[in-house]
Structure 1
Amino acid sequence: MAYCINPDCSQRKNPDNCAVCQACGTALLLQNRYRLIHPLQLETHSYTEVFEIEDLLERERPKILKSLKNVTPDLLRLFEQEVSILTNLRHPGLPVGETIFPLFLQINRQLHCFVMEKVPGENLQTWLSKNQYLTSYKIALDWLYQLVEILEFVHNNSFFHRDIKPANIMLRPDGKLVLIDFGAARQLTQTIVNNQPVTVIISSGYTAPEQMQGQAVLQSDFYALGRTFIYLLTGIDPAHDSRARSYNWFKNIKDKKNPQSLIHLIQTMTDTDPQRRPPTAQAILEKIANIKNKKYPQLQWRKFYLMIACGVLITIGSKLIYEKTALPLTCDNVLEDNLSCGEEILIPDNFTESNQPPVEKRSAIEQYRAKNFPDAIHLFTIAFNQQPDPETLIYLNNAKIQTQFTTDKIHTIAVTVPLGRSTIRGLEILRGIAQAQTLILQSGQPLRILIADDHNRADSNTGNNARRIAKKLVKYRDLLSVVGHFSSDATKQTLPIYHKAGVVLISATSTSDRLKSPIFFRTVPSDRIAAQKMATYLFSELQQRKAAIFYSQDSEYAQSLSTAFQEAAKLLKGNVINQEPAFNLARDNFDAKAALNQVKTQGGTAIVVIPDAGVGLHNAIPNALNVIRSNVNQAWIVAGDSLYNSDLLKADKIVSPQGIERTALAIAWHPMNDPNSAFVQQAQILWKIPKKALATNTEISWRTATSYDAVLVLNKAITQNPTRSGIQKTLTQPQFSVTGTTGVIQFEEGNRKYGTITMVVVRRHCNSSEFVFTPSDFTPKDWKNCGEW
């Protein structure tokens, strides 16, 4: 039988030989490889569905697919949380996550699908329904030890679970336990949301008190685990029976040989005050070892080895030896850590046309990982010729560096990009990085690039994010500097980390005026410069009287640009309407038409649109596009650089031609400013952009140019003084300058000294149906030969 993934389908069961569902027409083979066999969870009140599937490429490996059928920002965040954990962490006690992909149904509905390992066996809720309780405390100790070991691994990787209960623990046939369901992105019978947005996960009888208040901590997992073992030892479900929640629950333990020390441990784990619970998983493991009247061998060996290591360090007394043994080197071939010099692919598979990179690229990765660099060079070259993506070019350059230079001559920097969640923008940045690295290598300088994917998350309780990436990067003793992060929100979170480590961070895209640090520099003009240009354009050139600002009110970038625009407006005697809740682009219930009508009522003739850069406020950019589409009053719209993307050119799908033609954006650079420059011409060759397609291209953007310049700046500083402190000192010198594609770059207190902003508008290309970005000051003469570009 083949099962239909469409949750609205009236008849989801189909014969095996069907290619599409007989009832609704939905394709039954997903991603050209996954076929749904039968459902494992289909609850009407659930936000997700789970299926056992057949993978046509790996038939021997049982797998399941979880689909998120109701997509909201909160649910998607929780769903992506589980994906991040299970794809980034590897432990015998965790399922193996494989891939995530969106699925668009014919009914204008989108699902998010996550494929992972199918864990054999049954969950402990099912086991308890058959066996009622554990008959031996020794089994309880063994199970508790297994689960705490899993939690120790999870917690040490800066994650926590938030929904531990018997239903989320699998018992394998070999007796080993596996912790599942890290997303909790669903509403089960026992997982409720108390009429609140699904950001606080509550499982009756198991959830810690502080978590119910939205203040979950690592010790919240210990509380839920303790409640689970109360159920296992007594057979009384905390979700339904108050006896399990009373202080005297232990009187119902079935195994009368149960030691008092185990009861005390569980009492401590389930204390209502998280401060009185065990502080770490390791502390619980030590308690379990004491209960067994055995020493904790793993811990003892750790301590033993640590004592030996400390003794050696003290004996040798050399700081250099310590650094070489304690601090890692970059390009260490560690997989699934969101970092790569060439040992793994970071671009999501579902972003490529065939849902997987070229065979040659995958083979090149294997050769690079094996340090067979000549073969890697050959294969990367073929892969790049087939599909010119910047990740491949960077890995190709890195492999060439490994063969042409000795280790002591190689200089390494990192670039942080949002590949996992904002792939298009991440690739725009990487094109500039790769092009600059190629130019530098051709001049005989070995600048190795480490790509770091921070998923465009500033910070989060779980999953990969900018802070975790920054903490990893600064520990590499051979890493000299970092280009990043993409958003001002992410940069703000990481600045203290780089500052403490003395690592220069140079950003090509973070524009907030509130970003300040002695180690922070940027090649992109700050929001103050952009706001001055936007205000001048609106109030002086367009002669508008009064403007309203629609922006993401929780965004570092949007707040900074909004404030700067208001200050610039005052200098030009422009009027700005007081901020209203209806103008918040990040609101889930944002109503573009109502907001525009409110502006008109208050006498506004112009709108300033500043959506966030996609750092968790998922609705902002779609809401901004909806403002343009709904602009029937023909107000002038000026937008920040976060809105610069190809969606604005899809006038027939996203916005109305009337609305878009009264919209201008403030950006740091545009290729039509100087289409004959060496940078633009080389970019067209590298990325195979035909000359006549330059105006319609969105692959070479302002983010590409400022990232290219950032690498040129760092390379010059490294050439003069190749140390962390030396780079910082060089960049602060008044005479330091670099001529990049965006102009002469000098710094004053970290900011670009002579930054310029280009206002771009959307126009029809050569009177065709295509729309293109062009500088606003393009004249009819410039359009005369538009077909040539």
Structure 2
Amino acid sequence: MPKNGRTYPNASGAHPPYENFGPDCAVCGLPREAMEPANRANSSKKSPLPLVAVALGVALLLMGGMGFLSYRLFLTNRENNPPSLSGRSTSGSQLVSKTTARNAAYISQGERILISEPNPQRVALKQEAALAFDRGDWALAIAKYQELVALDPNDPESRIYLNNARARQAGNPMTMAAVVPIGTSPDTAKEVLRGVAQYQEQFNASAPNRPLEVVIVNENSPNGVTSLAEDLINSSIQGVLGHGTDANSRAALQVYEQAGIAALSPLTTNVIPQGNSRVQVQTLSLNEKGKQLLNTYLDNAAQTLAEAVAKKVPHAKVALFYNSDSPYSNELKSKLTAVLPQFGAQVVQQRDVAAGFNANTAMTAARQAAANAVVLAFSRARVNEAVALAIANQTQTPPLQFFGSDQLYGPDLLIKGDSAINGMILAVPWSTNPNDPFAQQAAQAWRGQISWRTTTAYDATQALAQAMAKGGDRASTQQLLRQGVQIQGQTASGTFNRVPLVQAAPGPNGPKGSNYQFNPLSGI
């Protein structure tokens, strides 16, 4: 607690003592001056005050409006050159979060936990692991993160931090960033991070000249993604993976491009099949090719969905739902309205859910318009609306066949939708095949079925790591990826070139809390 009579709204409260050499408490965020009584803090003495033991700890916070328990391990430590602790390694460059005062709480290499943890035992263990990482005690950080991975093999954040601690202990790591939507879509973030972690572990096990270190970045900073991008370009990061297709992502990608940092995202990455399961991963200029790549993918997704509608529901009359607050949803809706008639389907109703809607009323209106199929061209943020429509559809006789885009693919739809989403068909860039060697390896590593996001993140990390290892610096890494990097690709035929189908069905391989899973679908 502050002893100088002042208030610090960002501080997280009292906690057990912990040794600290910096100007700020690495856990609660209080500056050193706050630990001095008011009469001493305001003293006119010019000589520095003696070092005191600064109290540290972790506050458990109930995140307003999010419905789950979260915690923040540390706030910014602004010391640029912390002294080495006795017996501790300081291998590697300065931690990225130590170089910024703006978004430190949203960036971690292992010194803070970004993804909420509901298990009290793992919460305490993660606190210990992160504190050890923060002070450069790699042996202890490795031991603690190893224990966490053993307790929860499906936790990609702990696995990445374990890999990072080993990389720091080995010395001179090369560093990339993975920017994921932890705040708004933690399950999606985990799917991406599983692919990153799996290739990072594989790469580092090959005894490279420089091990790979991954900085995890929560893109949901209140300062915005461009502020995060500016923090990353002012660090030792050599390349970036992540972001989406929205306007904010485009702005962040422009920041990287102007700074000469390679960034692999759906708007900047082209995947070209080379034969024998090899693909070439190539980054393209955002301004010149970004929209073209997205359009190519959306064209293929719309074509796949329209063909599925025509085969599953002959002479289909479609109720098309979308959300106008998403450029992705708007684009897909436009392409679907153009391509569905080419397959003999008629769009009898278009409904924008961004303006607010009642699912029961919407489904009744669809029936009144003689619809016999529903296509959901939603963005990722509209899973709840998709579930509400599916539940409303369940009460109608007979229920209409539902179709949807890749943005609905994920555990939330299966868990929240339960039996209401049974039979829903989605077009996604990649689907799990139980006979695929990579899918088997990944399922064993993560104790469960993986998604296309995991696979594409694995491929993207592979391409970025190989370019970083060969290039050695930002400029060379960017140049190599502009030319194209060949990898042993796991994304079937390239993410933008083929959009297969999956269908929700009962099964044991779905996420925890659901009796449903996504199965590959062919022949319709």
- Report the TM-score when normalising by structure 2: 0.72
Kindly indicate whether residue 251 of structure 2 is the aligned counterpart of residue 479 of structure 1.
no
Partner in structure 2 of residue 517 of structure 1: 287
Q: 1:454 to 1:103 in 2, by over 3 A?
A: closer
Q: 1:668 aligns with which of 426, 429, 433?
A: 429
Q: CA deviation at 1:97?
A: 11
Kindly indicate whether residue 443 of structure 2 is the aligned counterpart of residue 677 of structure 1.
no
Q: 1:88 to 1:601 in 2, by over 3 A?
A: farther
Matched residues in 2 for 1:383 and 1:577: separation? 53
- CA deviation profile, 1:625-680 (whole Å, cap 9, x unmatched): 11111112522211111212223334xx645x3x5234211112222x2x243432
Partner in structure 2 of residue 373 of structure 1: 138
- Contact 1:398-1:449 within 8 A present in 2 as well: yes
- CA deviation profile, 1:197-240 (whole Å, cap 9, x unmatched): xxxxxxxxxxxxxxxxxxxxxxxxxxxxxxxxxxxxxxxxxxxx
- Contact 2:428-2:501 within 8 A present in 1 as well: yes
SS in 1 for 2:238: strand
Q: 2:261 aligns with which of 480, 495, 503?
A: 503
- CA deviation profile, 1:491-530 (whole Å, cap 9, x unmatched): 223222222212222126999xxx9436969899822221
Matched residues in 2 for 1:563 and 1:88: separation? 49
Q: 1:112 to 1:345 in 2, by over 3 A?
A: closer
Paired residues for 1:556-575 under 5 Å: 556-575=327-346
- CA deviation profile, 1:604-632 (whole Å, cap 9, x unmatched): 32221133223xxxxx3212111111112
Matched residues in 1 for 2:294 and 2:470: separation? 19
Partner in structure 1 of residue 503 of structure 2: 761
SS in 2 for 1:763: strand
Partner in structure 1 of residue 412 of structure 2: 647
Matched residues in 2 for 1:59 and 1:504: separation? 42
Kindly indicate whether residue 146 of structure 2 is the aligned counterpart of residue 384 of structure 1.
no
Partner in structure 2 of residue 448 of structure 1: 213
Partner in structure 2 of residue 595 of structure 1: 362
Matched residues in 1 for 2:482 and 2:239: separation? 15
- Contact 1:100-1:114 within 8 A present in 2 as well: yes
Kindly indicate whether residue 296 of structure 2 is the aligned counterpart of residue 555 of structure 1.
no
Q: CA deviation at 1:537?
A: 0.9
Partner in structure 2 of residue 529 of structure 1: 300
Partner in structure 2 of residue 439 of structure 1: 202
Matched residues in 1 for 2:142 and 2:16: separation? 33
- CA deviation profile, 1:285-336 (whole Å, cap 9, x unmatched): xxxxxxxxxxxxxxxxxxxxxxxxxxxxxxxxxxxxxxxxxxx955454684
SS in 2 for 1:479: coil
RMSD over aligned CA atoms reads: 3.9
Q: CA deviation at 1:775?
A: 1.3
Matched residues in 1 for 2:460 and 2:354: separation? 31
Matched residues in 2 for 1:396 and 1:543: separation? 53
Kindly indicate whether residue 492 of structure 2 is the aligned counterpart of residue 743 of structure 1.
yes
Partner in structure 2 of residue 420 of structure 1: 183
Paired residues for 1:141-220 under 5 Å: none
- Report the TM-score when normalising by structure 1: 0.49
Paired residues for 1:620-659 under 5 Å: 620-631=382-393, 632=396, 633-650=398-415, 654=417, 657=419, 659=420
- Contact 1:380-1:396 within 8 A present in 2 as well: yes
Q: CA deviation at 1:387?
A: 2.3
Deviates most, 622-631 or 675-684? 675-684
Q: CA deviation at 1:415?
A: 0.4
Partner in structure 2 of residue 772 of structure 1: 517
Q: CA deviation at 1:710?
A: 1.0
- Contact 2:268-2:286 within 8 A present in 1 as well: no
Kindly indicate whether residue 449 of structure 2 is the aligned counterpart of residue 704 of structure 1.
no
SS in 2 for 1:742: coil
One-letter code of the match for 1:397?
N
Q: CA deviation at 1:711?
A: 0.3
- Contact 1:419-1:426 within 8 A present in 2 as well: yes
Matched residues in 2 for 1:373 and 1:519: separation? 43
Matched residues in 1 for 2:294 and 2:131: separation? 35
Q: CA deviation at 1:765?
A: 2.5
Q: In the comparison of the two structures, how many residue pairs are matched?
A: 434
One-letter code of the match for 1:721?
G
Q: CA deviation at 1:393?
A: 1.0
Matched residues in 2 for 1:536 and 1:371: separation? 56
Matched residues in 2 for 1:88 and 1:732: separation? 43
Matched residues in 2 for 1:412 and 1:612: separation? 31
Matched residues in 2 for 1:88 and 1:609: separation? 44
Matched residues in 2 for 1:662 and 1:723: separation? 49
- CA deviation profile, 1:453-483 (whole Å, cap 9, x unmatched): 112x7xxxxx24322211211222x322111
One-letter code of the match for 1:772?
Q
- Contact 2:425-2:503 within 8 A present in 1 as well: yes
One-letter code of the match for 2:151?
Q
Paired residues for 1:189-268 under 5 Å: none
Partner in structure 2 of residue 219 of structure 1: none
Paired residues for 1:263-274 under 5 Å: none
SS in 2 for 1:337: helix
- Contact 2:239-2:468 within 8 A present in 1 as well: no
One-letter code of the match for 1:500?
Q
Q: CA deviation at 1:766?
A: 7.9
- Contact 1:545-1:575 within 8 A present in 2 as well: yes
Q: 1:646 to 1:536 in 2, by over 3 A?
A: same
Matched residues in 2 for 1:704 and 1:333: separation? 29
Matched residues in 1 for 2:386 and 2:491: separation? 27
Q: CA deviation at 1:539?
A: 2.0
Partner in structure 2 of residue 469 of structure 1: 228
Gaps of 5+ in 2: 1-12, 18-26, 35-56, 73-92, 270-284
Matched residues in 2 for 1:98 and 1:364: separation? 16
One-letter code of the match for 1:669?
W
Q: CA deviation at 1:373?
A: 1.6
- Contact 1:628-1:660 within 8 A present in 2 as well: yes
Matched residues in 1 for 2:58 and 2:299: separation? 44
SS in 1 for 2:105: coil
Q: 1:404 aligns with which of 145, 151, 170?
A: 170
SS in 2 for 1:668: coil
Q: 1:428 to 1:729 in 2, by over 3 A?
A: same
Paired residues for 1:597-616 under 5 Å: 597-614=364-381
Partner in structure 2 of residue 245 of structure 1: none
Matched residues in 2 for 1:329 and 1:567: separation? 52
- Contact 2:318-2:348 within 8 A present in 1 as well: yes
- Contact 1:661-1:762 within 8 A present in 2 as well: yes
- CA deviation profile, 1:727-786 (whole Å, cap 9, x unmatched): 3332333x64323221355xxxxxx56x3222111222289993221112389xxxxxxx
Matched residues in 2 for 1:384 and 1:719: separation? 27
Kindly indicate whether residue 465 of structure 2 is the aligned counterpart of residue 715 of structure 1.
yes
- Contact 1:447-1:715 within 8 A present in 2 as well: yes
Q: 1:111 to 1:744 in 2, by over 3 A?
A: closer
Matched residues in 1 for 2:215 and 2:296: separation? 25
SS in 1 for 2:112: coil
Q: 1:758 to 1:510 in 2, by over 3 A?
A: farther
Q: CA deviation at 1:98?
A: 4.5
Matched residues in 1 for 2:268 and 2:476: separation? 23
- Contact 2:349-2:369 within 8 A present in 1 as well: no
Kindly indicate whether residue 288 of structure 2 is the aligned counterpart of residue 546 of structure 1.
no
Gaps of 5+ in 1: 1-54, 61-86, 105-109, 117-327, 458-462, 615-619, 746-751, 780-789
Matched residues in 2 for 1:112 and 1:661: separation? 27
